[in-house]
Chains A and B, each alone.
Chain A
Amino acid sequence: MIQNTEIVDAARIVEFCRSLKDQGFERLATVTAVDRHPAEPRFEVVYHIHSIEHNQRRRLKCRIPSAPAEIDSVVSVWRSANWYEREVFDLFGISFRAHPDLRRIMLPDDWDGHPLRKDYPVHGHRYSYKDEEGAG
């Protein structure tokens, strides 16, 4: 289990991850983000990495601002980052530079907004209770 979080400079994330992979962290368990809206820097991109051989897990965190919400992609280090980063892009609107295939993954291509942002209402932008008035 992971006890502490390592804060990594967003500009160095790829280099840092590559050195960890060379140390035996062969797995990227997941990439996700946390929206700290309205605080700045707004987003935290969180990486959980794992070494089976050393039975060790580490958590890396990069803080990035709301504009531009961008960070380098780690697909060149672990291929599994492909879908993980696409998911973060889709649901948080964070762009990953040099990602080979940065498209929405969960939502339709023409979806408006990024649902996991804190300023996105749970019922969505398109729906409101007003629409139901008079309907019943």
Chain B
Amino acid sequence: MSDPEHLSETVTAALREAPAGEGVSARRMTLNMGPQHPSTHGVLRIMLELEGETIYSARLDIGFLHTGIEKEFEVKTWQQGVTLTDRVDYLACLSNNLCYALAVEKLLQLEIPPKAQWMRVMLVELTRLNSHLVWLGTHALDVGAMSVFLYCMREREDILRIFEAFSGQRMMTSYIRIGGLALEPPRGWDQAVRRFITAFPSKVDEYESLLTRNPIWLERTRGVAVVPVADLLDLGVTGPCIRAAGIGWDIRKSEPYSSYDKFDFEVPVAAEGDVYARYQVRVEEMRQSTRIVKQALEGMPEGPWQADAPHVVLPDREKMKTQMEALIYHFKIVTEGFLVPQGEVYQTVESPRGELGYYVVSDGTARPLRVHMRTPSFGNLQGLPAMIEGRLLADTVAAMGSLDFVLGDVDR
């Protein structure tokens, strides 16, 4: 597909197809955008057919980052699988950790203690902030506002430091495990989080002062990439793009998981459905996420941070050295993993990008029979051609930024 010979074939084919006598069609040109292009945020190839600067058709070529993660699940134990979930959407590691953990916990029928649930909510909301900050910075950079990127990365760094304090890792956290959390929350975690969320709302104001009424930003984003919401849903688009087109569908509200129903927050909705509306929705989501983190911090329940399930959760180090039973459990979990009862579950969470779903099938053994990831970026990207066809080439970059896809999440 990618060899130059084939490409020139496509061009000649396009010219051949052009009806004779129509001057416009005869001038049609094929432009290959990507796989290495700064605005594709990864490796995505778009084959554009242009008439002048207008896009006549767009075809997407994906799969450059396919790493066979779903296949690899077959040879991992259930708990080892958590580390694979990080590597799908590398900007929303904890959302993926959570979705997988919830699915397997449902099969195991585990009861997760409130502290772990609230901690999970707090961490996935910080993940949402992290992801939206990267989105805002790179989206603005693509459209030409360079300084926003620097501001966003500054706050993102604070979030990554919090993740590092919790899990020892900045990005591939694997902190949410089946049965609870990987480690006890570190000493002083609450102060670090409090410091961050106290300062953060004013930082959002700062980003808004750079963009919200910026005439160039408005010119580049308003009325761009509008598609009727019914078409978006039909094409598989989810998340902020749907909410920016007038439907207030958020899985945290419609199918609450991990105690989200106990938190007070709003789902931002906009009606216009253009790139600017998606910007507004995500910025407002950042404010709402700050609210959720604050509530989690203030109302954090006391108690254990792991489920009372010795056959799933590794025992405390001290117990392992002093109690025979704990030692046996430790040995069994480490050497062969734990068995998960036969069954299947489709678990969804609202990831920063939309509906993230894990379809997990167990045949009763220590390894999954099948783990399928319904990743939001894969669905969202299918909506791209509808957004850019018939529009100017320069709008492609704005439309791509507004979809906020991560190619690792598309290709898996």
* A binding-site residues for B, Cβ under 8 Å: 1-2, 5, 26-30, 32, 34-35, 46, 48, 52, 55, 57, 59, 78-80, 82-84, 91, 104-109, 115-116, 118, 120, 122
Contact = CB atoms under 8 A, between A and B. Distances in A.
Interface in B58-105: 62-63, 66, 68, 70-72, 74-75
Given A27-B233, A48-B357, A83-B236, A1 B347 contact: yes
Given A52-B233, A105-B63, A109-B1, A5 B379 contact: no
Contact of A80 (B74, B249, B357, B379): B379
A1 B255 contact: yes
B63 A107 contact: yes
B369 interface: yes
Contact of A122 (B74, B255, B378): B74
Per CB-CB distance, the 9 closest pairs between chain A and chain B, nearest first, are A80-B236, A30-B374, A106-B66, A106-B63, A32-B372, A52-B249, A34-B370, A79-B234, A55-B254
21 contacts: A1-B255, A1-B348, A26-B230, A26-B233, A28-B236, A29-B346, A29-B374, A30-B357, A30-B372, A32-B370, A48-B359, A59-B346, A80-B236, A83-B382, A84-B236, A91-B70, A105-B63, A106-B62, A108-B1, A115-B71, A122-B74
Contacts of B344: 5
Given A55-B254, A104-B63, A106-B66, 13 more contacts: A2-B346, A26-B233, A29-B374, A30-B372, A48-B374, A55-B255, A57-B346, A80-B235, A80-B379, A116-B70, A116-B71, A120-B71, A122-B75
B389 interface: no
Contacts of A26: 230, 233-234
B247 interface: yes
B97 to A, nearest CB: 19
A90 B68 CA distance: 12
A135 to B, nearest CB: 23
Nearest to B255: A1
A82 B355 CA distance: 18
B235 A79 contact: yes
Residue of A26, A83, A104 contacting most chain B CB atoms (<10 Å): A83
A50 B132 CA distance: 26
B361 interface: yes
Contacts of A116: 70-71
Contacts of B378: 83
A76 to B, nearest CB: 11
A61 B9 CA distance: 41
A52 B247 contact: yes
B228 to A, nearest CB: 12
A115 to B, nearest CB: 5
Nearest to A90: B63
B409 interface: no
A82 B370 CA distance: 22
A9 B66 CA distance: 32
Given A80-B382, A82-B382, A106-B411, A115 B357 contact: no
Contact of B355 (A2, A29, A83, A109): A29
A48 B62 contact: no
A83 B68 CA distance: 17
A83 B236 CA distance: 10
